[in-house]
Amino acid sequence: MTKKKQGNIVWNFFASVKLALFTLFTLAATSIIGTIIPQNEMASHYVHLYGQTTARIFQILSITNMYQSWWFRALLILFSTNLTICTIERLPNIWRVVTLDNLSTSISRLQKMAIRRVFKSGVNQEQTGLAVQKIMHQAGWQADQRARDEGTLFFSQKGAWTRLGVIMVHTSILTIFVGALIGKLYGFKAGVMLPEGSSTNIVYKSSGDHSPIPLGFTLRCNAFNLSYYDTGMPKEYRSDLTVSKNGKDLLSKSIVVNDPLQFGGLTFYQSSFQAIPGQFAASLTSKSTGAKQKFFLRYPTERARLWPAEKVRFGITDIAGPNMRQKYRYKIWFSDGKGSPSTFWIDQNHPVKIERPGNNYLLLVKPRFATGLQIAKDPGVWVVYIGCIMMILGLIIIFFMSHRRIWALVSENEGESSILLCGTSNKDKVGFEKVMTSLYKGFADSQFLRGEKHE
Amino acid sequence: MNSSQLLGITIFAYLLASILYIAIFIFRAKKLGVVASLVTVAAWLIQTAGIIMRWVESYKMGYGHAPLSNMYESLVFFAWAIAIIYLWIEWKFKNRLIGAFVVPFAFISMAYASFSTEFGRTIKPLVPALQSNWLIGHVVTCFIGYASFAIACGLGFMYILKDRREQAKKENKQKSDGLIDTLPQLRLIDDAIYKTIVFGFVWLSTGIIAGAIWANTAWGTYWSWDPKETWSLITWFVYASALHARFVRGWNGRRIAWIAILGFVSVIFTYYGVNFLLSGLHSYGSA
């Protein structure tokens, strides 16, 4: 026995609850550091904030990127090892209780139970047994029976499986860790800035060397729109995206912050935007033909742009602004070959009707934006979610469900039969006492037993 | 009646309820019991109406979102959750002395929400990151958790007060019954602390998970060690340790009472400290 214990010194260390409490406490305490000291800033920033020496110490201890540091990872590994071994260690005992043969429980144990009561029966042992089974059945307790030396023992239980709730919660945490690991090993985070009207088939890794990752398809940004509330607060960032392969459009979606695009195991999130300096997006509609065309104009590097189908030439010749709301005004030169060209000022994002001899046009000019997309591939995320669901269910089982057991021993002594009714619950003793009280009442009032209470 | 009037009345209704509960305790005015409960129920109903009104008003302004989007609205909901969970406990434990230690939390939260100069109280539209159905799920679950922990903290104070008194009684063999002796038995307070911690823990776990799922749909990362996330995890660790200590090592009484208080300090930091003292992704709360 002692030999076995000594041999398992490592096992026992990892199986201890003291270690679990220590690890939980250490994880909590060290986690605070990363919330106070800014993470993943430039080295010079730390020197500026804390001075040369402290910054150097931070760097050595990876405190500037502590949640990915070797020592924090070591703590997490210690935590999961402890959790695994604790769970394995306790599983056999829990399983024994779940599958226990409660009809072989020693009678002396029943007689000592805290919740118990004895009833006298006016009928013989066999009839009493039938009555017990009937009363318990009516109260929702399906009883099994076995003949014992002392009499007939009836037993019924509910929620034996709920004892596995602890295992479920511990497993759920490990499942979440496995999911996170799968994501780390087989997934990536990347980003790309995609100007309106352009396409890409590569994105760039968010961490490390920002190396390019081929998508295996083409992603195009048709348009980016941002809108504001009348208070000036941003209301929506929207990118119209199209996925294509070999020149064939496969999927189009307009994405906003909480509604990403999913394709080919990748998810594209709306993350940021940027106005491209010197470039403008114009949309021009011809009233007579109904034709509509998008253009990307440049200023000051380009004079005028041609729309051959409508024989229109137009361009930006001057810019004013921005005003207090960060909006610009553009001076437009416009010609459609009929009459002299028009020049006029228009506001950003404000459609303007251009009246020309013989035809009218509608023009809207705004900055050309590049949409900032965040790309994630995380094959582990579903494992994480399964772990999360397991955790919630497990916690509900642990805290709000209990294992309730009820025994009834029917015995005969000198021609008089009696019933010992007793029970236990591993949790919610108060609730269980109520169940037992109503069962006592069922026994006391039963016509089959014609019985009276006996203390 | 508009929402700010209703929520204004709520502050004073909770103040009145707090005074009544404290009076029941200090002056042993048991007759006031029903009045205190009725005032609390009324306060909670007025507050519920106020929250619904604010929701409706946001739609009328064209913004249309649940009133759970900033510091002010979350504090109001925090008080709301404390009141309803407290009423449930009062009904369950049939004891009104708990009110003196719990209802003031609801009043403080409402008063702070209404009189602080650190944040605004006007209805504002939602920034793009908050425009999600997860807003309701995440905020509601977290704050039911926080409210339960606030109540556990109040009960913790109650336990320690009673415990000190019992100790003094044992040592000095005092016989006269003081004010504190009227408090419920230590065993019952301990049971109530444990139950509120358990309740809060399940909600906090659900809230953290809801937040993680939301973060994944908005940013593609379910966990980024942002200060808010980290502090919610620290709080989770504190209560997880408490529950393990109780289940496995049989901790109860004084030690669990102190953990209930310590845990709530961590909750306050997660809620308030992170918003105002640290910076990070989760900055909506300080608006």
Is any Cβ of chain B less than 8 angstroms from the Cβ of A409? no
Q: What is the pLDDT of residue B233?
A: 95
Q: Which of A27, A32, A269 is opposite residue B220, by nearest beta carbon?
A: A269
The whole-number pLDDT of residue B173 equals 66
Residue A401's CB is within 10 A of a number of other CB atoms, namely 17
Is B283 an 8 Å CB contact of chain A?
A: no
Phi, psi angles (nearest 5°) of residue A443: -70, -45
- pLDDT recorded at residue A451: 44
B248, B256, B282: which to substitute to probe chain A, counting the most A Cβ within 10 Å? Answer: B248
Q: Which of residues 66-125 of A touch B (CB under 8 A)?
A: 67
Is the per-residue pLDDT at B252 higher than 90? no
Res A453: pLDDT = 43
Nearest to A24 among B134, B241, B249 (CB): B241
Mark yes or no for CB contact B128/A381 under 8 Å: no
Residues recorded for chain A: 455
CA distance A270 to chain B (A): 8
Question: How close does chain A come to B280, measured CA to CA in Å?
Answer: 9
Instruction: Grade residue B174 by pLDDT with cuts at 50, 70 and 90.
Output: low
pLDDT of residue A230: 83
ipTM: 0.92
Contact between B220 and A27 using a beta-carbon 8 Å cutoff: no
What is the C-alpha to C-alpha distance for residues B258 and B269, in angstroms, rounded to an integer?
17
- Residue A123 CA to residue A138 CA, distance in Å, equals 20
Min Cα distance B192 → chain A (Å) is 12
B251 Cβ under 8 Å from any chain A Cβ: no
Please tell me which of the candidates A17, A28, A256 has its beta carbon nearest to residue B128. A256
Q: Number of C-alpha atoms within 13 angstroms, CB side, residue A40?
A: 10
Provide the pLDDT for residue A235: 92
Chain B environment of A271 (Cβ under 8 Å): 219
How would you classify the pairing of strands A199-205 and A312-320? unpaired
For range A76-80, the mean pLDDT: 94
Binary contact (B225, A67; C-beta < 8 A)? yes
Name residues 9-38 of chain A within 8 A of B (Cβ): 17, 20-21, 24-25, 27-28, 31-32, 34-36, 38
Q: Is the alpha carbon torsion for A341, A345, A346, A348 positive or negative? A: positive
User: Which residue intervals of A99-164 are DSSP H helices?
Assistant: 107-111, 125-138
Using CA atoms, how far residue A227 sits from A128, A237, B71, B135, B219, in Å, is 79, 7, 25, 21, 20
Contacts of B132 in chain A (CB under 8 A): 258
In DSSP terms, A320 is beta-bridged to A329
Domain boundaries, chain A: 2-97, 102-159+403-453, 188-377
Say what the pLDDT of residue A450 is: 63
Q: What are the tens digits of pLDDT across the range B107-126?
A: 999 999 999 988 888 999 99
Indicate the pLDDT class of residue B165, thresholds 50, 70 and 90: confident
What would the mean pLDDT of A66-93 be, rounded to a whole number?
A: 93
Which residue stretches of chain B are H helix? 3-26, 33-60, 71-93, 99-115, 134-172, 186-219, 227-249, 254-268, 274-277
Whether A5 shows a pLDDT value over 60: the answer reads no
Q: Cβ of A34 and B230 within 8 Å?
A: yes
Residue A154: enclosing H or E segment and its boundaries? Answer: strand A151-158
8 Å CB contact between A363 and A346: yes
Right CATH for A102-159+403-453 from 3.40.190.10, 3.40.50.720, 3.40.50.880, 3.30.310.180: 3.30.310.180
More confident residue, A227 or B202: B202
pLDDT of A416-431, one tens digit each? 888 999 999 998 888 8
Band (pLDDT 50/70/90 cuts) for residue A69 is very high
Q: What is the pLDDT of residue B20?
A: 96
User: What CA–CA distance (Å, rounded) separates B261 from B267?
Assistant: 10
Instruction: Report the pLDDT value the prediction gives residue A8, as an integer from 0 to 100.
Output: 81
Q: How far is CA B143 from CA A42, A139, B65, B165, B203, in A?
A: 36, 39, 18, 33, 8
Residue A452 has pLDDT above 50, yes or no: no
β-partners of residue A424 are A405
At A105 the three-state DSSP class reads: coil
CA A234 – CA B37 distance, rounded (Å): 45
Give the global pTM: 0.90
pLDDT of residue A2: 42
Higher pLDDT, B287 or A331: A331
- pLDDT band of residue A3 (cuts 50, 70, 90) is very low
**What mean pLDDT value characterizes chain A?**
90
Q: How far is CA A45 from the centre of its chain?
A: 33
Mean pLDDT across B54-63:
92
B130 vs A302, residue with greater confidence: B130
pLDDT at B86: 97
Structure-block tokens of residue A359: 């035809």
Report whether B249 contacts B241 (CB < 8 A).
no
The residue-averaged pLDDT of A265-280 equals 93
Q: How many CB atoms lie within 10 A of CB A285?
A: 18
Measured between CB atoms, does A382 come within 8 Å of chain B? no
How far apart (Å, rounded) are the C-alpha atoms in residues B287 and B120? Answer: 7
| Inter-chain CB proximity A231 and B201 less than 8 Å | no
**In the 8-state DSSP scheme, what is residue B120?**
-
In tens, the pLDDT along A156-206 reads 999 999 999 999 999 999 999 999 999 999 999 999 999 999 999 999 999
pLDDT class of A321 with cuts at 50, 70, 90: confident
Taking residues A140-146, what's their average pLDDT? 93
pLDDT in tens, A385-422: 999 999 999 999 999 999 999 999 999 888 788 899 99
Q: How many CB pairs under 8 A join A and B?
A: 107
Q: Please state which of the ranges A9-18, B44-53, B72-81, B265-274 shows the lowest mean pLDDT.
A: A9-18
B210-223 pLDDT per residue, tens: 999 999 999 999 99
- Report pLDDT for A326: 76
Chain B residues within 8 A of A39 when measuring between CB atoms? 225
Q: Is A299 on the interface with B (CB under 8 A)?
A: no
Secondary structure of residue B97 in the 3-state scheme: coil
